[in-house]
Structure 1
């Protein structure tokens, strides 16, 4: 194990490394932070890179342990760590790092990810995915004024894990359903994972062909995850990859499925998998899972190691229905961290929170925080992507449902601009949602993580606290139009009105 020490320069901040820890970044001389990413045990993206606002970056080919304490970064790893001088600002340094280590590849995700909201059936249907209610949800979107976009049918459309075929009782006519959804204007994606249910024909087939990972004693590895116990496809084995790809291609050919939500694949679930054809470590398995998605233009990931610059949609981990750092408070800092790590095509999870347990049981109307749902929709509206799951017209008052629809329309209003930024990301790797420091160096924005830039044109300052009806916004130098109308001179902090009907944002003039 090699240890590398890097002392902070005066005023230096370090960005990147771990999306799920974005709320703790940037690291500064005063930071006390430690983490071990030799196995990514977080539920989101990890990339072994740190980028400084003082013209240097740290990079390794493998994930590492890190400690920030007493003005020093200490990095421990079996591999090598590079400390590279590049540029003089966060933006210049990022662009040099992107060019060297994760130059964009193979274009960008399809335009539908960016120019309209996405929709996911998870919160509405949870473990009761079925044809009737999927169609009801889709028609409800159209009837309530939402534009057709990508519709993801979540977990439990299939018979069981490893048997990637529609469950016939719940989906009596999959082809008819997909045709109807296409007729409404939707692209259709299905949830999937790299796991196989034990005691199934698929398990026996794959075990007999040696296509599952194993423990040290040579037995098939069964690991616990949020849906029980499963075996895992050996993603280092080309024959296992071919088997899985054929199952998914069959769904595309038979029913017209457009793509897949590739869930799970977390490195932490591979820790007991000691034997595989390629003898890969857990992080490599997670990386291979992500690279598999390059076979499908319509894809979505949540857990990932590496793969920066690829046309992979990277979602934030499931958020709680809360205002704290497990929910709303994490949306901006974690999205910004994704971007500076090299994941430009980001989605801030399902509006209102994708952690389904909150939405189960009786009395939802009494538990639901309608203000939170509205503010979440507003926060997502001017991010690269936004995704609805819970149906606003079902759970919100008429007034608040209208505000969610207004947020969706704001996103489509700026669709051309967002798509232009995505195309730029495909060429340069630049984030779409950017730290203030990225666009405005040396103006005191290095620690600002509750407002952000959408490209270099829009400053977005979502309301992130319950009951707040005004918003303090730190404006950079220049002229800024609030909501496209009232003009402000920058270089100062202003307070603007932000009732629940308003998402504060400014256009650079």
Structure 2
């Protein structure tokens, strides 16, 4: 970080910029009255001789002189009366000629950017008017940089808005240096980095949701074009932008690009619009982000989902599920003395993919089976998705009514997904209100006919749409498709779950982390699970559902086959421990599965479940708090130590609320866990008495049956430890 700046600053004290609120995703922004559009402009202002400027005069018809001023220019945030907000002392300086942008806060530079990376010309015409900066690169693009008044006097927000001036401009790009801070957010990825700059090498790709299993280089199912930094800066891109994001050499590239494959429905002139906001530190910044860019949850998932594990038939039975083994699975859960909330009947129960029914050959009396499960205390959910294979009745009905996403020829666009042959399925067009209503009606019929309680909603990533897709409604950014699908899922709250998210933090749904492999490391293993949960949490999704305990145990060549890796017993136990103090636990491969696991895992896994149950009411209280505040349930260490540089780097620990610190063992054969405690007095969660003073690293004995965790002294959580 650098303080000061070697160039002169120009300050303005005029009214707020007047940008249409529809062009941003900003909430609660105060604006003043806009001057009349036809107000006669005043004469050009003469720049002070000490400023570095370029004056260009062009005589038109020998009578009218148009003067353009190009110079270093600074915007300062002001209160509603137009006074400079001295408390925040935040400034944005832009130099169009050098194509540089600098943001400072409290006298220190907190962000450096290079703007207009793909522009061909270098002769901007600048209109230094009102309280905005307007620059035009003739024949290419126009840039408006202005400020937005905020209710928090210590915060400042600046809007950067590019507009192409010709359809020949197909790319607008800015880049920002990440090297002087730690960065978080954006999207779930296959090999996640925390902070982002620790693995910031990724070619610019479409910032749209993808299935990380079929394409590990994609962005994941849950994504949000918002990035936070440790020096109190957030970059928040408008949700409508056809965005490409890349990382290289310590910088992040933000690019709006006309791309007929990634954004085939984007129409009109190309725009790149985003906000740069600053605050004092990460915690203050997060509050600003919640207030400005997120919506708080409208409710919470069912309390039982936080208190007791979810059990899925997927990994245990794959698609060979039937009535007999579902009932046996339930009986075994009880017999082995495990608690439960939902039992999810996953892949393989329906007659055809796309039909919401039970295959009568596999389930002779599905209604009676579900009654039996209810009598044992289980909630029952079934796995559903937006796909319909061409041999299903749903495909035929949807085809007649034009309920499927269209392809390039305005006919149904046939797609491939993990349960279809090549180009042998259609995908529901949830942008069509009639199609969405039809989908909901069919789910309601299944619920009333069989007695199921709710559904596990899978799919709906943009990567599963046709190569060139067309929606019923004009949706320029296909992320809105995923958001609409999540809205449909929310109709079946509070027991429903979904695995996609795009500006859908407000929905009272469990949001599932993408499938994880049965391995330890950051390459989609247990360590990656911890980072993914942290990433979704800071993206504003509090009700995170970790993936199945132990991973999916996939055969590398056939996901329908189960292959348990060497040392799986230890991995399974450590995975159960890692999720014990997360919002929810989810089992799929049974802890008593003798093909993969030794019976010795039962006791430590059961102990992990009992720990989760003990903290169940604490988690429920945190969920209720999330609905009020927008705060995540799982929090990074910097949440309580925002200026602690070591806390900002920790990617293998997390907080449950403010008062429980969890340090799961994520490496094989590790029995001494090196971990970091932030400032404060912490009590060993395993004995309830031993104190540790924080802001230092400790070495903790962690035999296989023990999860290292700590509670803040004299907190509510301290009463929950033994």
Change (3 A) 1:434 1:171: same
Corresponding residue of 2:90: none
Gaps of 5+ in 1: none
Greater shift in the superposed pair: 481-490 or 242-251: 481-490
1:73 aligns with 2:252: yes
User: Which of residues 626, 641, 644 in structure 2 aligns to 1:443?
Assistant: 644
Determine the C-alpha separation between the residues in 1 that align with 2:564 and 2:497: 30
1:300 aligns with 2:503: no
SS of residue matched to 1:337: helix
Change (3 A) 1:463 1:368: closer
Corresponding residue of 2:700: 496
Structure 1 residue 362: deviation in Å? 9.1
Change (3 A) 1:235 1:380: same
Deviations 1:190-226 (A, max 9, x none): 0001111114333222212111122111232111111
Determine the C-alpha separation between the residues in 2 that align with 1:502 and 1:201: 51
Deviations 1:12-32 (A, max 9, x none): 212100122572232348844
Change (3 A) 1:35 1:336: farther
Determine the C-alpha separation between the residues in 2 that align with 1:31 and 1:453: 25
Corresponding residue of 1:200: 392
Determine the C-alpha separation between the residues in 2 that align with 1:477 and 1:216: 58
Determine the C-alpha separation between the residues in 2 that align with 1:9 and 1:81: 23
Structure 1 residue 271: deviation in Å? 4.3
SS of residue matched to 1:493: strand
Determine the C-alpha separation between the residues in 2 that align with 1:106 and 1:376: 31
Change (3 A) 1:19 1:361: closer
Matched-pair contact (CA < 8 Å) for 2:297–2:626: no
SS of residue matched to 2:224: strand
SS of residue matched to 1:24: coil
Matched-pair contact (CA < 8 Å) for 1:270–1:285: no
Determine the C-alpha separation between the residues in 2 that align with 1:289 and 1:273: 19
Structure with higher RCO (Cα < 8 A, 6+ apart): 1
Structure 1 residue 93: deviation in Å? 1.0
Task: Name the structure with the higher helix share.
Answer: 1
Matched-pair contact (CA < 8 Å) for 1:383–1:454: yes
Matched-pair contact (CA < 8 Å) for 2:533–2:546: yes
Deviations 1:369-428 (A, max 9, x none): 110000000011011111011111223323211111111110001001111111111111
Corresponding residue of 1:427: 628
TM-score, normalization: structure 1?
Answer: 0.95
Deviations 1:281-337 (A, max 9, x none): 532222211111110112112233331232121111111111122211201111100
User: Which of residues 280, 283, 286 in structure 2 aligns to 1:94?
Assistant: 286
Corresponding residue of 1:338: 536
1:209 aligns with 2:401: yes
SS of residue matched to 2:692: strand
Corresponding residue of 1:348: 546
Change (3 A) 1:49 1:393: same
Gaps of 5+ in 2: 1-170, 211-218, 257-269, 714-722
User: Which of residues 158, 180, 194 in structure 2 aligns to 1:25?
Assistant: 194
Deviations 1:228-249 (A, max 9, x none): 1311111111111111111110
Structure 1 residue 429: deviation in Å? 1.3
Matched-pair contact (CA < 8 Å) for 1:451–1:460: yes
Greater shift in the superposed pair: 280-289 or 106-115: 280-289
Taking only aligned residues, the RMSD between alpha carbons, in angstroms, comes to 2.1
Change (3 A) 1:204 1:71: closer
Deviations 1:140-192 (A, max 9, x none): 11111111311111011111122111111111111111111111111111000
Determine the C-alpha separation between the residues in 1 that align with 2:602 and 2:559: 21
SS of residue matched to 1:468: coil
Structure 1 residue 485: deviation in Å? 2.6
Aligned length: 508
Determine the C-alpha separation between the residues in 2 that align with 1:252 and 1:234: 22
Matched-pair contact (CA < 8 Å) for 1:207–1:220: yes
Matched-pair contact (CA < 8 Å) for 1:123–1:354: yes
1:50 aligns with 2:242: no
Determine the C-alpha separation between the residues in 1 that align with 2:575 and 2:619: 19
Change (3 A) 1:309 1:439: farther
User: Which of residues 302, 314, 327 in structure 2 aligns to 1:110?
Assistant: 302
Determine the C-alpha separation between the residues in 1 that align with 2:178 and 2:289: 19
5 Å matches for 1:373-388? Answer: 373-388=572-587
Corresponding residue of 1:232: 427
Corresponding residue of 2:332: 140
User: Which of residues 392, 398, 401 in structure 1 aligns to 2:602?
Assistant: 401
Corresponding residue of 2:164: none
Matched-pair contact (CA < 8 Å) for 2:555–2:563: no
Matched-pair contact (CA < 8 Å) for 2:190–2:220: no
Change (3 A) 1:360 1:149: same
5 Å matches for 1:131-210? Answer: 131-210=323-402
Matched-pair contact (CA < 8 Å) for 2:282–2:643: no
SS of residue matched to 2:186: strand
Structure 1 residue 368: deviation in Å? 6.1
Structure 1 residue 33: deviation in Å? 4.0
Deviations 1:54-87 (A, max 9, x none): 2221112336222334443321125443333343
Matched-pair contact (CA < 8 Å) for 1:113–1:150: yes
User: Which of residues 313, 320, 327 in structure 1 aligns to 2:510?
Assistant: 313
1:485 aligns with 2:677: no
Structure 1 residue 35: deviation in Å? 4.3
User: Which of residues 368, 371, 390 in structure 1 aligns to 2:570?
Assistant: 371
Determine the C-alpha separation between the residues in 2 that align with 1:189 and 1:198: 25
Matched-pair contact (CA < 8 Å) for 1:437–1:446: yes
Corresponding residue of 2:675: 473
Corresponding residue of 1:254: 449
Matched-pair contact (CA < 8 Å) for 2:353–2:392: no
Corresponding residue of 2:174: 4
Determine the C-alpha separation between the residues in 2 that align with 1:218 and 1:33: 34
Determine the C-alpha separation between the residues in 1 that align with 2:524 and 2:612: 24
